[in-house]
Amino acid sequence: MNEAPRLFRCAICGTIKGDGNHWLLVFESRSMSVDGIGASAKTRVCVSHWDNVLALQAQTYPVCGNGHAHVLVDRWLSSNCLEASRKPASEASEGLNL
């Protein structure tokens, strides 16, 4: 069987991942904690070095390097969400020299 390799695109600029790239993964981690007052949900944003298994998980965002990992973390800090409000790739990557 010939399975086509899975293509990963940077969540910010749309660049397709190659073999030798230093890509990162950004994802949210949710947990529930229960104390004397009640239960509360906590959400954290996590940045990981590339992992092929993790990359296939839903809600995991591949990024092409540190610069775009920062863009995603900044988005999460300001909006509490990693999901993009769609922008043209040329606008999103403006000013970055990749």
Residues that bind Zn ion (CB under 5 A): 10, 12-13, 64, 68
Specify the residue, 59 or 66, whose C-beta has the smaller distance to Zn ion.
66
Query: Whose CB is nearest to Zn ion?
Result: 10
Q: Which is nearer to Zn ion, 22 or 42 (CB)?
A: 22
Q: CB nearer to Zn ion: give 54 or 67.
A: 67
Q: How many helices (H) and strands (E) does the chain have?
A: 3, 3
Q: CB 66 → Zn ion: shortest distance, Å? A: 10
Tell which residue, 72, 84, 69, 93, has the closest CA to residue 13.
Answer: 93
Question: Least CB distance from residue 1 to Zn ion, whole Å?
Answer: 32
Strands laid side by side in the 39-49 sheet: 39-49, 24-34, 60-63
Q: In angstroms, what is the minimal distance from the CB of 50 to Zn ion? A: 13
What string of DSSP letters covers 59-98? TEEEESSHHHHHHHHHHHHHHS--SPPP--HHHHTTT---
17/34 with CB nearer Zn ion: 17
